[in-house]
Homo-oligomer: A and B are copies of this chain.
Amino acid sequence: MSILLDDLSSREAGVPFMSPTPEEAPGPPVDARVVRTRNDILRTAVDVLVEQGLDAVTHPHLAQAAGYSRATLYNHWPSRNALLRDAFLLRGSGEHSTPAGDLRTDLIAELTKFRSEMEQHRIHRALAVLVTLTATTPDLADVRDKLVADGEHVLRELLAPVLAGPELEAAVLALSGTVLNAALFHGQLPSDAVIAATVDFVLCTVDRKRP
């Protein structure tokens, strides 16, 4: 127990008054403890957001949940939006599959990975909050765009050799949209059969184009 307390107090003591953000990368090296503190707090913020909702994401509540002082949180992030911005960027859009060379198998694997990220980390809840916030906080739109671009990049790379223009856009929107729609608006993740059927809708058109 004393070890825990010691560890906690040393963490507190080691945090200088500075607010390094990923965009400020060039500059003096950031103390490893500062990075650890920041990431501890940001991960806690995402957990609290997903489990308890946006109203629970306050500096005092996060300070208690992450085991740091309120002053530390305010020093790093003067506003909740600043904290949420870094939390979303650290969390990212989740893991991806590794394409193996068969388009149908690879598309199904990528959507299945997307589904398991939702199942394990409930990233759809974080995404819903991000989208809700972006409606009234336009300066979060770049965070949303970054996460969405990262979230889609495997699908896009798989489909770019066989579709283009509006068809490529529609395929990316329909495939990821099926998983998002099920998770967010239907409260349940899509079954294997639904994922396969969605992939086959797109591949039917791809096949038809083949000479």
Contact = CB atoms under 8 A, between A and B. Distances in A.
Interface string A158-186: 00000001110111011111111110111
A103 to B, nearest CB: 14
Q: How many copies does the complex hold?
A: 2
Contact of A170 (B184, B186, B197, B204): B197
Most buried by B among A133, A136, A141: A136
A141 B55 CA distance: 19
7 closest pairs, A vs B, by CB?
A177-B177, A177-B181, A166-B193, A53-B136, A170-B197, A204-B204, A201-B201
A131 B184 contact: yes
Interface stretch (A16-24, A26-34, A121-129): A121-129
Q: How large is the interface on A (under 10, 10 to 19, 20 to 34, 35 or more residues)?
A: 35 or more
B135 A186 contact: no
A109 interface: no
Nearest to A125: B135
Contacts of A195: 170
